[in-house]
Amino acid sequence: MTTKNVGRTGRRGPYAKSEERRRAILDAAHSVFAARGYRSGSLQEVADEAGLSQTSLFHYFPSKQDLLMAVLERRDEITCAVFPDATEEGLVDSVVRTALFNEDIPGVIELYTVLCAESLTDGHPGRMYFTERFERLRTGYARRFRELASEGRLRPGVDPDEAAVSLVALWEGLQTQWLLAPGDVDVVKGLRGFFNLLMLPAP
């Protein structure tokens, strides 16, 4: 029994170290890609930021594209807990909470905005990720708006599908403006104003 426990303890050490290095690489890539984009940010910069050699980096991520997708997945993990469509909160509260959460996590909005814009360029490996993400957002928000409509909470003439598209577009635009002028743009205020235009007060 003692030998078996020691063996398990021994295996946990290298595994933990491997996970720590992988996380360091992802954090470094997050920083580099947020600042320079996927195309301009080099693997050498990522390796230097992580304090590793490129050979070590390739042990964890065989290609730059693999690293990009892992960074995007990691970004989703960070924000997953407050994804609006996955909560039991009201739509307004969940959107506002997510917006505030994103602003408090260094580099999350920068990374997302830079890579999203860059994904429009020819052959970018992140294009499908963002295309599918926008589709999920539109679908999820449209469903939430339809629920509000069935509750009599949407103003007459508001189309749930159009409202969903507008919400995504507004949020994206507000975040971009906030990155350029954080002291002048209030993302949450802008989102609340949008909901006030579309929704009727709760009874």
Over residues 48-103, the pLDDT tens digits come to 999 999 999 999 999 999 999 999 999 888 777 555 444 457 899 989 999 998 99
46, 71, 96: which is the final residue of a domain?
A: 71
pTM: 0.84
Q: Is the pLDDT of residue 9 over 50?
A: no
71, 96, 115: which is the final residue of a domain?
A: 71
* Over residues 1-20, mean pLDDT: 58
Same domain? 96 vs 2: no
Write down the residue that tokens 């947020």 correspond to: 34
Same domain? 38 vs 65: yes
Q: Looking at residue 41, what DSSP letter applies?
A: S
Same domain? 52 vs 87: no
Count of CA atoms in the C-beta half-sphere (13 A) of 178: 22
Same domain? 111 vs 52: no
42, 71, 100: which is the final residue of a domain?
A: 71
Q: Is the pLDDT of residue 11 over 70?
A: no
Instruction: Specify if 76 maps to a domain.
Output: no
Contacts of 139 (CB under 8 A, 6+ apart): 164
Same domain? 47 vs 94: no
Q: How many separate domains does the chain show?
A: 2
| Domain limits for position 26 | 1-71
Give the whole-angstrom CA distance, residue 163 versus residue 169: 10
Same domain? 65 vs 85: no
User: What pLDDT score was predicted for residue 201?
Assistant: 86
Q: Which alpha helices (H) appear in 41-154, and where do they start and end?
A: 43-50, 54-60, 64-80, 91-104, 108-118, 127-150
Here the CATH number for the domain that contains residue 165 is 1.10.357.10
Task: Give the phi and the psi of residue 154 in degrees, each rounded to 5.
Answer: -90, 145
Q: Looking at residue 123, what DSSP letter applies?
A: T
Over residues 107-133, the pLDDT tens digits come to 899 999 999 999 999 999 999 999 999
Average pLDDT, the chain: 89
Same domain? 24 vs 105: no
* Over residues 27-34, mean pLDDT: 96
Instruction: Specify if 176 maps to a domain.
Output: yes
Same domain? 132 vs 63: no
Same domain? 42 vs 95: no
Same domain? 147 vs 53: no
